[in-house]
Structure 1
């Protein structure tokens, strides 16, 4: 195994056990059986390695979410499943819980706001494709689909800028907004 991959695997273990704040570079170096100085050959900081760990962990959890949601169910049921599975998988995960914690959340939000983060976010692309296709299958015109997907862009924007810390009840509020928005779209 390549040294950087070993370091990344060790960092994932340490962050999963301790969380971002309590984890130290020395903990990561020790777990990967390398000197602290060697850590800096691969990463410039704890923040840099954490970002790589977070992106990989987020991708792993989102792939699991994609597998567990029944995307053919009624639209409002899909939204309920999506939020329930997301909550179930993210809540106990110390790495992904950092999304809302001061000290590192700004780095994470900044990454996913940038084009690189959006492009690397397979779950984001999957949702756009899945919901656009579903809207078209339901008979929505391309123009109406584009208009509705603009609301999805707004929700993504909100998710990249607001944390539970800044807006208590954020997760439940965004779930309610999405659920009733989708229910309204598909009610005939």
Structure 2
């Protein structure tokens, strides 16, 4: 039954975080909604940050899976980048969980998780992008060396996204989009 309580806590946390956001949600509220004693909460999660990360990761994976299904990955490369960022914005802008990516109260915790080599090497969306973009460039006639050089630039975009917050650099997400768009234009036009 321990997994059942853990799942109840995560479901309650998802429900509350999605309505109130990170800051306005408390552990006692999550425990109460899950029907679990506050003290028992700590048998399953070390902190509010830990349960938020579990909820965030699951929600992020769900949204990324949706992106992988809905985007035309074969179309014009510049349009593809535009479509990717546009879809991301539309799926995230009204999502109180995913919009916490830039919240100073939790962003460093989220960024540390997503920038770790362990997570990066197992992140399904990151791996999908690497594979999709590599195959695309190979089909376009890019040499293996050139593909590796270009993937280094992609890794820089990933680094910026997982290390720079809105506090560090206002409007970072739009800046990354702008850089990616013009980088891809330079490659394919």
**Normalising by the residue count of structure 2, what TM-score does the alignment of the two structures yield?**
0.96
Measured in 2, the distance between the counterparts of 1:171 and 1:105 equals 14
Q: How far has the Cα of 1:120 moved from its partner?
A: 3.2
Q: 2:33 corresponds to which residue? A: 31
Aligned mate of 1:163, from 138, 148, 165: 165
Q: How far has the Cα of 1:68 moved from its partner?
A: 1.4
Flag structure 2 segments of 5+ consecutive residues without an equivalent: none
Measured in 1, the distance between the counterparts of 2:33 and 2:137 equals 48
What is the correspondence of 1:7-156 to structure 2 with a 5 Å cutoff? 7-156=9-158
Q: How far has the Cα of 1:185 moved from its partner?
A: 0.5
Q: How far has the Cα of 1:116 moved from its partner?
A: 2.2
- Where does structure 1 differ by over 4 angstroms across 4 or more consecutive aligned residues? none
Flag structure 1 segments of 5+ consecutive residues without an equivalent: none
> Please, what is the CA RMSD of the aligned residues?
1.1
2:183 paired with 1:181: yes
**Normalising by the residue count of structure 1, what TM-score does the alignment of the two structures yield?**
0.96
Deviations 1:84-104 (A, max 9, x none): 000000111111111101111
| Residues matched between the structures, number | 187
Deviations 1:117-175 (A, max 9, x none): 21332111111000010000000011110111110011111111111232122121111
Deviations 1:38-71 (A, max 9, x none): 1111011111111111111110111111111110
Measured in 2, the distance between the counterparts of 1:119 and 1:103 equals 26
